[in-house]
A and B are shown apart, each in its own frame.
With several copies, the nearest count.
Chain A
């Protein structure tokens, strides 16, 4: 019925579901970030390691690597989404 207040139990259930979703979303982002870091380190860090700092070339390699990584995320996401429908 419109205007009616949800019970406290309902509110708690909604809050718990929201927290669970937020946690899963966060875990997903952390794991995505970790794969990006590992992949772009593999691709862009010059070996043998001469210094700890990043050179200009390494920095722009990382920027391009990240940009391409997002594009792959988008393509794969589209294809997986298409299949699920």
Chain B
């Protein structure tokens, strides 16, 4: 299970690199990132982490709510017997 977590975070790392490269690196005429590209990559990455945090929060809320509803329905079904 811990192994799975490490794997997931490496996968996320890879996909974040790919995304920010694609969104930020524009020209292939130099071997080094331009200042603009570098800043774009940093902001892309930060922004993505913030989106992850926010979506994760909503995600958690949703599943918590769903489990509460399931528990209430189970309780109601028991009470109805």
Residues of A within 8 A of B (CB): 20, 23-24, 26-41, 43-45, 47-54, 59, 61-73, 75-77, 79-80, 83
Contacts and interface: CB of A to CB of B under 8 A. Distances in A.
- Name the 5 nearest CB pairs between A and B, nearest first: A52-B46, A49-B43, A66-B58, A28-B10, A41-B51
B80 to A, nearest CB: 25
Interface of B: 1, 3-4, 6-8, 10-25, 28-33, 37-38, 40-52, 54-56, 58-59, 62-63
Chain A, interface SS category:
helix
Contacts of B16: 76, 80
A39 B31 contact: no
